[in-house]
Structures are given as C-alpha cells and as structure tokens.
Structure 1
Amino acid sequence: MEHLEHKQKVTIMIAIMAAMLFAALNQTIIGTALPIIVADIGGMNYFNWVFTIYMLASSITAILVGKLSDTYGRKPFILTGIGIFIVASLLCGLSGNIYQLIIFRAVQGLGGGMIISTSFTAIGDLFPPRERGRWQGMMGSVFGLASVFGPTVGGYIVDTWQWNWVFWVFLPFGIVAYIMIWRLFPKTETSGKRSVDFLGASVLVITIVPLLLAFSWAGQNFAWNSATIIGLFTWSLFGLFAFTLIEQRVQNPVIPLHLFKNSIFSVSNLGGFLMGMGMFGAIMYMPFFIQGVLSISATQTGFIMMSMMLSMVLTSTIGGHLITRTGRYKIFAIVGLMTMAGGMFSMSLMSIDTTVTGVVRNLILVGLGLGLTFPVLTLTVQNAVDHKYLGVATSASQFFRQAGGTMGVSIMGSIMNMTIGREIGKINPPANTESPNELQDPQLLMDPNQISDLKSDTSQLSSLQFDQMIESMREVLSTALNGSFLFGTFILIGAWILIFFLKEIPLRLSNQNDKKEKLSS
C-alpha cells in the first residue's frame, strides 16, 4: 500500500487511530467505573476477571491474527475486530450480572486483539521502515491519551449518568472508524499461502492461557508454590514443547520459529517483554502509593497519574519524528530505558514524607522514557524481517510486551504482599489495648470513609493511638511498594543492558526488500 498518495495514507491512518482510540478508551475507562458497576450488579469476588478475561482474549487473538493477516490481508481482520468490539461494548452495557459482564468482556477482548494487532501492522503496509517512526510514535500517543482521559471520563459518567454509558459513549467513534476503513482501506498483498495451521494455533492457545493465568493468580489467589500454580506452569511448559515440534513440521506455521534466529527480532521482543514488566508495574502500583501512603483521593490520583501519560505522549511523538528524520533508533531506546530506570529507582526511594511534587517528577521521568522507547521496539522488529512476515512479527512484539506486563504486575504484587506480611509483624500495638484486625490491613488506607467509620467505632484506642496505627500502616505500605519499585528498576536496567546488543541496521526506504538492505533471517 506504500504506492498510495500521501493524502490517502493520512486519511487511512486517521481511521486506524480512531479505531485504536475507540478500543483503548474502552479499556482504560472501566477502571474508575468498576466499583460502581459491581455495586449495582454484584459479584465483588469476581471483579478481577473483568480485567483478566479481556487480557487473555486480546493476547490470544493478537498473536493468532498476525499470521492470518499475512495470509488473507489486514482489512478483513480490522473490520471484524471493530465489528466485534462494537457489539461486545453494547452488550457489556446491557449486562445484568457479573457473569454476563465477564463473558461480554471476553468477546470485547477478541475484537480488541484484532484491532491492536492489525493497526500496528497496517503502518508497515502503508509506510516503509524509514517513515514508520513518526506514525509508531503517534500510535503510542493514542494509548497515552486514552490513559489520560479514560479514567477521568469514566469517573464523570458514573457520577452523573448511569454506568451503562461507560460502554456506550464511544460507540460512534467505532462506527465512524468502521465506515472509513471499509471505504478507504485497500486490499493488501498477501503471502499467497492459504493453508492454516489450526493444530499449532490450538496448541498455542492452550499454552498461553495457563501461563497468563498462572502469573495473574500467583501471589494473589494462590501461593506461588501451590499445586494450582505449579500445575499451570507445568502444563504451559509441555504445551510449549508440543508447539515447537508442530511448528517445525507444518508448511505454514502460526509463528515461524526461524524468526527467533534473527537477533534483532529476539533482542527487541525480549526488551519489549522487560519494558512491559516495568511499565505496567508503574501504572498499576503507583496509585497505591498516592492514595494509600499520601492519603490523596482517587480523583486527584487520576490527575497526578496524567503527568506520566502526558510526558509519554510528548516524547513518543517527538521521538517518532526524530527517528524518521535521522534514520537512527537505537540511541532513543537506550536513553529511554535509562530514563525509565531512573524514574523507577526514584520511586523506590519514596516515603511517607514524599511530596506530590516529588511523585509527579518521578512519574514524568518514567513517562518520558516510555515515550522514547515505545515506538522503537516495534519498528526494529518490522525492519528486520521480510515484509511477508510483517503481521506475525508485529503481533509477536505486542504479545511479548503485554505478557511482560502481566508477569511484572504479578511478581511486583507478590513482593508487595510478602513485604507487608513481614513488616506488619514488626509493629508494636499500643500497650494494654487490642487493635482491630482492620488496622493490620493496609488495604484500609485506600478507603478514607472506612478509616473514619472505624475511628468512630473503635473504643479501645484513643484518637492519638488510632492515628499512630494508621501512620504505621502507611509506613508498611510505603516499604512494601519500595521493594516492588526496586524490582522494576532492576528489570528496566536489564532491558537497558540488553538493548546495547541490539544490532542497528539502516531503516529501509521501501517495503520491497532490497538484498543489500535486508537482514538475513
């Protein structure tokens, strides 16, 4: 599609970014709205599945659709993804109980995986590698904007309208994007192979699902050494072995294993995996510090977290333009990961005395680094493989990043919980008093109303003693989060060291692979 006129390419990209914004907003908007939704339809014990099932479905779809789009073209899959997402969003808003919501979120995840996978791949169809940096950066900005405005819009909707509109308010964006892509998006050239590796796809699914479930549940629902978690890991290990054997024998594999012999492909995906661990860890656990340790409201927390996303949007856009102008990309990943690691290390040094200004500074550092790194690791993968593998290579890049986030959040959560358990035992309760059990659970710090109610109902402790116990809980939570952020720091340093081994090759000026420019895979 690189032969199209520039104006037509820009119009198509606007449609693709509208589809991406539609999917991303529906993912970020639900965070602040979910407590109200659960209060209305019930199911507090299952609310985590609203997030988990979406992640599982989108991860599986993204990795599978990459290869299928190489075979049958991008247009059918991006249209199918938008259509599924629109219908699922409508049904989510009609959910009468938590089970229906979980099912419809799974369907939504199937559509979301198609949209994300084909959208990033379509950039590779429209533009040669030398020009992709600009657009990869802009696509990263779409994610950042959705993370900025989604939670705020979600909170406003549940405060002023019915919660159903959280899923319905952006449906017009999806419909407009569908019409634009249907009318403007041309058919893409395919590899010409029509056989589909159904066996390999099935084995891949039953390998990935237990692995992601294990990391989602470990340390939260089950202990890391429990039979359930060990069983899930064992199942995935055998599944991976079977998948490798299958892919070596089929004619048109879901993931061509020879791609991993390409050092750029392997290093970039491993770097994206590690970056995902650090990125999602900061996004998930920083609100715990802001609300629990600093006693700042959820609404204000959303505004503070904006600093990270806005800085990401800034450097993602600027970095993408500089990559296109200079043709260099490795230096941006090195500087970006170093900046992210510095911001994460500063987070590990925070305490109950940290100011809001200090928190914002640390978030900006992480955001600046993330914005510089985000466009690079997809671009390097696309530039290093033949164009006929563009879809599967791009999908692999997205999958490794998301899988890293899933695993990172789980490991950091386990570190936090273990540290809390250890530090709670060091607290000396006030003499001759019996502290309520609630005062030994840092989760109490997330709900100021519960603290006020407990303070008025507690007769064993004086006001001063109660405040001292709350202060101790804040110190416990701060120490626990310090450990999690320190783990994230080491992970990002590992990614930074890894990127030095990334071979930088010239960004091709055309999607037609010139033998002098192409890296042998």
Structure 2
Amino acid sequence: MEHLDPRKKVAIMMAVMSAMLFAALNQTIVGTALPRIIAELGGMEYFSWVFTIYMLTSSITAILVGKLSDIYGRKPFILIGIGIFIVGSFLAGTSSTIIQLIVYRGVQGFGAGMIMSTAFTAVADLFSPRERGKWQGAMSAVFGLASVFGPTLGGYIVDNWDWHWVFWVFLPFGILAISLIAWLFPAQPHREKESVDYFGSIFLVSAMIPLLLAFSWAGTKYAWTSIEILGLFALSVGAFVVFVWIEKKVKSPAVPLHLFSNSIFTISNVIAFIMGMGMFGAIMYMPFFVQGVIGTSATASGFVMMPMTLSMVAASAFGGQIVSRTGKYKALALTGLFVMSFGMLMMSFMGIDTTNRTAVMNMIIVGLGLGLAFPIFTLTVQNAVENRFLGVATSTSQLFRQMGGTIGVSVMGTILAVSMQREIEQALPDAMDAANAMAINAQSPLGREELEKMANPQLLMDPAKLEEIRGSMPPDMAGYFDRFVQILREVLGHALHEVFLVGTGVLLFALLLTFFLKEIPLRTSNQEK
C-alpha cells in the first residue's frame, strides 16, 4: 500500500478518518451527557463502569484483531467493527437501566477496538515512519473535532431533548463510513500458511478480564484485601503465566514476546499505559467538577471542555509537522508530558470558588501537552518493529493505552468514592444542622439515615431536581437548602482534588520514564528494517 498513487492514499485516509470520526463522536458525546443520564437512570456507584466496560471490550478486540489483520488484511475488520459499533450505539439509546447502558456500551467497545486498531495500522501501511508524523496529527485532529462537537452537542441534547438521542444522532455517519471504506479501502492478500493463535488469545483475555474486574471492584464493592479481589488477581496471574508459556511454544503467537526485547517498544508501551491512567482516569471526571462543583449546566460544560480539545488539535498538528520535518521525537514527548503534568497539577488546585475561566485555562494547558505527547508513542512503537509486525505492534500499543485508561478510571473512581465518603462523614454535622433546620417547620427532623440519602453528590448533576426541591420549600427555608447544596459541592470538590492530584503523580512518572526512551532515526520506507 505504501507505493499507491498519492491521490489514492489520500482518498483512503479520508475513508479511514471518517470511520474514526464516527467512533470518536459516539465516544466523546457521552462525557458531558453522562452525569445527567446517571441522574435519570440512577446508579452513580456504577458510573465508572460505563467507561470501564467500553475500554475493556475495546482492549480485547484491539489486541486480537491486530494479529488477525496482519494475516487477513485490515479491510474486513474495520467494516465489521463499524457494523458492531452501529448496533451498540442504537442499543445504548434504548437503555432503561444503568445495567443495560453498561452492557450496550460493551458492545460499542467491541466495535471500537476493531476500528481503532485497524485505522492506526492502516496509516502505517500507507506511509513510512518519517511521513506518518503529519498524518498522526491529522488523525488526532479527527479526535479533536469529535471532542469539540461531541461534548457540546451531548450537553445540548440532555438539556433540551431526550438523552437517548445522544447515542442515535450520529448513526448516519456510521452508514457513510461503511460505504466509504467498502468503496475506497483496497483488499490486501492474506498470508499463506499462517495459523491463528486461538489458545494464546483465550488466555490473554482470561488474564485481562479478572485483572480489570479486580481494579474496578477493589475499594468500592469489595475491600482490597478481600478474598474476591485477591482471587481475581490470582486468576489473572495464573492465566497470564499460561499465556506466556503458550506464546513461547506456538509458531505464530498472538503477541510475539520477542518484541519486548526491544527497549523502545517496551518503554513506549509502558509510557502509553501510564499516560492512559493519568489522562483517562482524571479527565473523565472533569465534567463532574464543571457541573457538580462549579454548577455549570451540561450544555455550558461542553463549551468549557472545548478549549482543551482545540489546544490538543493545534499542538498535535504542530508536533506532527515537526516530527516529519526533523525526524526527532523525544524532545517533543518530554515537553508534552511536562506541560500536561503541569496542567493536571493546576487542576488539582481547583475548588468550590474556581471559575469557568480558570478551569478553561487549566484544560488548555493539559490539551497542549496531550497533543504534543500522545501521538508520539504509537509512532515510536511502529518505527521500532519490522513491517510484518505492524498490526500486532500497533494493537499492543493500543492495548496498553486502553488498559491504562481502564485501570485509571477504576482507580480514580475508587479514590473518588472513598474520598467522598470521608468528606461526607466530616461534613455531616454541618449538613445535619442545615437539613434539620429545613425540617423544623414540618416537625420532622431528619435522622442520620435520611440525611445520608440526601447527601449524595449525584443530586448536583441534576439542576432541574435541585430547583424542584428548592421551589417546593417555603421562601424562608431556601437559605438552609442553599447551604446544604454548598456543603455537597465542597465534598465533591475535595474528592476531585485528590483524583486530579493522583493523575498528576502518574503523569510525572511517565515523564521520568521518557528520559530512558532511546531515540533512533525514523525510517523513510516501510521496507527498511
């Protein structure tokens, strides 16, 4: 594919980016809408699972499809992926419970893993590492475009329409993406006499699922030292040991272990994992701060999040051009991670008195760092391996990033839940005073159990419900209710401070590891070793 006519290659990239735009729009539109969806469906304790299940299923398919696409070509898998994603999006919009939403998001994830794995590998098929920088920037611009319009539209829909349209509004883009891929994407001859490592794939999945379940449930549903969590970790370790044994024996392993003997491949994937933890784990909770602590509407929160994305797009395009022209990447990676860490640190200082302007400035800094650093580590992985391993190397990089994001969201969710519980306990006396003052006229002071039911920050995500409660009270009681809501905002703000602070520490560790990343010349042809 590298030697195709340049105009044909551009047309193929347009088709690939249309598929990515469809998947990215459906992913980003959920962020600002989800707090309101949770407020309607209930189940805030399952909030992180809406992201966790998506990342889990997309991680599974990404790693499996990477190897299969090396054997059978990219086209069939990107088409199947778009089809599965369309079905998952439609079903998600029919959800009537949080459990249904989680299941259907899992279906979306299966499709997304296929789309993302094959899309990034297709860029590597079409262009040499030296040329990929600018196209990686273009791919990031697609994510940026989706991140600009998705959250804003998601907030507008839940504020003005039925939230189900969050999942349905972009379905026509899926049909367009399938049509373009089927028409423009060339079929590739598959390798002869190459077997598929089914047993290795099964044990890899068997290692991933209990590991992610353990991180998702630890500290919330079960104690970290409980038999359930320790059992899941033990099951994951056992399956991983069997997986490694199988990979050493088979002729065509799902994940060739010899790739990890390459320090660039290994360090890049570890950094991608850590960045996934810091980025997904902290930024996914930003809408909770904007809506729950500052008190911004879902629609307006989309506009607050937009500048971060625009800065990411600009930095990604700039960084891609620099890499293509100079062939250097390490300095950009270090700069990006430093800037991103600084922005996350500034986010950790935000509190109840933070304005939307301050939040926007902090997110712009995070976006600049993210745009510079994030695309680089896929490029370094692709540049470090032989061309015949492009699919599995790219999907492995995606897997590490997704696994980091999955574990990050789960760990940050645990930190948020534990911190909120502690803060609520500390704020309970003041909250009880305010709540009991509200109940004096009714001669029915609230007990601790009733108050704990009210003291749920989920209430902050539904401004209409807050206004309904406030409007039902006598005018002289409104001040007490406002004090009660203020206490809830402080509780959520303190908890999110800890989430962002942990995210800062994680990103600083990624920055430290980048100093050990070896820089080698970017190849000018896919035929070079």
Same topology, TM > 0.5: yes
Structure 1 equivalent of residue 500 of structure 2 = 485
Structure 2 equivalent of residue 294 of structure 1 = 294
- For structure 1, which segment, 366-375 or 406-415, has the greater mean C-alpha deviation from structure 2 after superposition? 406-415
**Partner SS state of residue 517, structure 2:** coil
1: CA distance between counterparts of 2:156 and 2:468? 26
Matched, 1:507 2:527: no
**Partner SS state of residue 375, structure 2:** helix
How far apart are residue 351 of structure 1 and its match?
2.2
Amino acid at match of 1:298: A
How far apart are residue 357 of structure 1 and its match?
1.6
* Equivalent runs, 1:14-413 vs 2, <5 Å: 14-32=14-32, 50-93=50-93, 103-157=103-157, 165-188=165-188, 192-413=192-413
Partner of residue 495 from structure 1, selected from 492, 510, 513: 510
Q: Structure 1, residues 218-252: CA drift from partner, whole Å, max 9, x if none? A: 33433333333222222111111111111111111
2: CA distance between counterparts of 1:445 and 1:164? 21
Matched, 1:442 2:470: no
Amino acid at match of 2:140: G
How far apart are residue 14 of structure 1 and its match?
0.5
1: CA distance between counterparts of 2:156 and 2:490? 32
Q: Structure 1, residues 81-131: CA drift from partner, whole Å, max 9, x if none? A: 223333444455566777665554433322211111000000000000000
Amino acid at match of 2:379: L
How far apart are residue 191 of structure 1 and its match?
5.2
Q: Structure 1, residues 353-372: CA drift from partner, whole Å, max 9, x if none? A: 22222111110010110000
1: CA distance between counterparts of 2:168 and 2:416? 36
How far apart are residue 412 of structure 1 and its match?
1.9
Q: Is the 8 A contact 1:78 1:114 kept in 2?
A: yes
Q: Structure 1, residues 359-407: CA drift from partner, whole Å, max 9, x if none? A: 1111001011000011101000000001111001100111111111111
1: CA distance between counterparts of 2:56 and 2:346? 32
Amino acid at match of 1:223: A
How far apart are residue 314 of structure 1 and its match?
1.1
Amino acid at match of 2:60: I
Amino acid at match of 2:501: L
1: CA distance between counterparts of 2:22 and 2:41? 25
- For structure 1, which segment, 261-270 or 48-57, has the greater mean C-alpha deviation from structure 2 after superposition? 48-57
1: CA distance between counterparts of 2:89 and 2:137? 27
Distance 1:183 1:455, change over 3 A: closer
1: CA distance between counterparts of 2:260 and 2:393? 10
Amino acid at match of 1:389: F
**Partner SS state of residue 29, structure 1:** helix
How far apart are residue 40 of structure 1 and its match?
8.8
**Partner SS state of residue 248, structure 1:** helix
Distance 1:284 1:99, change over 3 A: closer
- For structure 1, which segment, 291-300 or 320-329, has the greater mean C-alpha deviation from structure 2 after superposition? 291-300
Distance 1:93 1:288, change over 3 A: closer
How far apart are residue 186 of structure 1 and its match?
2.1
How far apart are residue 190 of structure 1 and its match?
5.2
2: CA distance between counterparts of 1:392 and 1:144? 26
Unpaired runs of 5+ residues, structure 1, are none
Distance 1:101 1:496, change over 3 A: closer
1: CA distance between counterparts of 2:285 and 2:90? 31
Amino acid at match of 2:62: A
Q: Is the 8 A contact 1:387 1:512 kept in 2?
A: yes
2: CA distance between counterparts of 1:277 and 1:324? 28
Amino acid at match of 2:129: P
Structure 1 equivalent of residue 441 of structure 2 = none
Q: Structure 1, residues 125-155: CA drift from partner, whole Å, max 9, x if none? A: 0000000011112112212221221233234
Amino acid at match of 1:369: G
1: CA distance between counterparts of 2:34 and 2:500? 26
How far apart are residue 71 of structure 1 and its match?
1.3
Structure 1 equivalent of residue 442 of structure 2 = none
2: CA distance between counterparts of 1:41 and 1:276? 28
Amino acid at match of 2:502: F
**Partner SS state of residue 251, structure 1:** coil
Q: Report the TM-score when normalising by structure 2.
A: 0.89
CA-based RMSD of the aligned residues comes to: 2.8
Distance 1:444 1:329, change over 3 A: same
Q: Is the 8 A contact 1:308 1:364 kept in 2?
A: yes
Distance 1:79 1:474, change over 3 A: closer
How far apart are residue 215 of structure 1 and its match?
2.1
How far apart are residue 479 of structure 1 and its match?
2.1
1: CA distance between counterparts of 2:133 and 2:81? 25
Q: Is the 8 A contact 1:439 1:473 kept in 2?
A: no
Amino acid at match of 2:521: P
Q: Is the 8 A contact 1:439 1:470 kept in 2?
A: no
2: CA distance between counterparts of 1:462 and 1:177? 55
How far apart are residue 37 of structure 1 and its match?
6.9
Q: Structure 1, residues 147-202: CA drift from partner, whole Å, max 9, x if none? A: 22123323444566655544443333223322322232223465545211110011
- For structure 1, which segment, 198-207 or 89-98, has the greater mean C-alpha deviation from structure 2 after superposition? 89-98
Amino acid at match of 1:373: A
Amino acid at match of 1:493: L
Q: Is the 8 A contact 2:63 2:399 kept in 1?
A: yes
2: CA distance between counterparts of 1:285 and 1:403? 18
Distance 1:27 1:376, change over 3 A: same
1: CA distance between counterparts of 2:159 and 2:469? 26
Q: Structure 1, residues 275-315: CA drift from partner, whole Å, max 9, x if none? A: 11111133222222222222222221111011211111111
**Partner SS state of residue 351, structure 1:** coil
2: CA distance between counterparts of 1:111 and 1:458? 48
Q: Is the 8 A contact 2:269 2:397 kept in 1?
A: yes
Q: Is the 8 A contact 2:265 2:381 kept in 1?
A: yes
2: CA distance between counterparts of 1:91 and 1:441? 29
2: CA distance between counterparts of 1:102 and 1:426? 33
**Partner SS state of residue 516, structure 2:** coil
1: CA distance between counterparts of 2:173 and 2:235? 41
